[in-house]
Structure 1
Amino acid sequence: MIGGFGLVAALAWNDAIQTLVKSVFGDKSGGIIAKFIYALLVTALLAIVSMKIGREEQKK
């Protein structure tokens, strides 16, 4: 049940971040640049979160 709520929240954030990237960088050339920027931002965020979770697990 909790995983389902997490998925819904992730999809909502996905849409919000995509809209933000499109509005900031425009939707030119089919939005390819905006999609790469979005992918880089999400990858960086997930890497940071994963490292923090890993550090917290090591403390236990």
Structure 2
Amino acid sequence: MGEKQKIKKEPRKIRKLRAEFTREVRRRMAGYIAAAFGLIVGLAWNDAIASVIAYFFPIDRSSVYAKLSYALIMTAVLVLLTVLAVKYVKEKEVKEELEK
């Protein structure tokens, strides 16, 4: 018996659950792939930003001061960007809710 015939014989509920599961697996896989690409981009930017900081503040890259400075600068910038992103998403959600 072929695969299509087997599927037709399954109860509707099982077919529906199977389809939902397949969609969720695809969504998750796409999310994981996007996260992996984000990590690659983040590592590239990490090196670029560290080089820019070293260029403008020429101190020994292996010193504790240099590492702390880099960590503080990156923390401040990323917190600011995160706050702006969250605010943007919330505003978008509120706007979409009002349009409904």
If the length of structure 2 is used for normalisation, what is the TM-score?
A: 0.51
Relative distance call for 1:57 and 1:29 in structure 2 (3 A) is: closer
Say whether 1:46 aligns with 2:78.
Answer: yes
Question: Hey, which bits of structure 1, 4+ residues long, moved more than 4 A?
Answer: none
CA contact 1:18–1:38 (8 Å) conserved in 2: yes
The amino acid across from 1:15 in the alignment is D
Deviations 1:7-46 (A, max 9, x none): 0000001111112222222233843222122111110111
Seq. identity, % = 32
Structure 1: stretches of 5+ with no match in the other structure: none
Larger Rg computed on CA atoms: 2
Q: Is the 8 A contact 2:59 2:66 kept in 1?
A: yes
Q: Structure 2: give runs of 5+ residues left out of the alignment.
A: 1-32, 94-100
> Higher helix fraction: Structure 1 or Structure 2?
1
Highest RCO, 1 vs 2 (Cα 8 Å, sep ≥ 6): 1
> Please, what TM-score do these two structures have when normalized by structure 1?
0.78
Cα RMSD between the aligned structures? Answer: 1.8
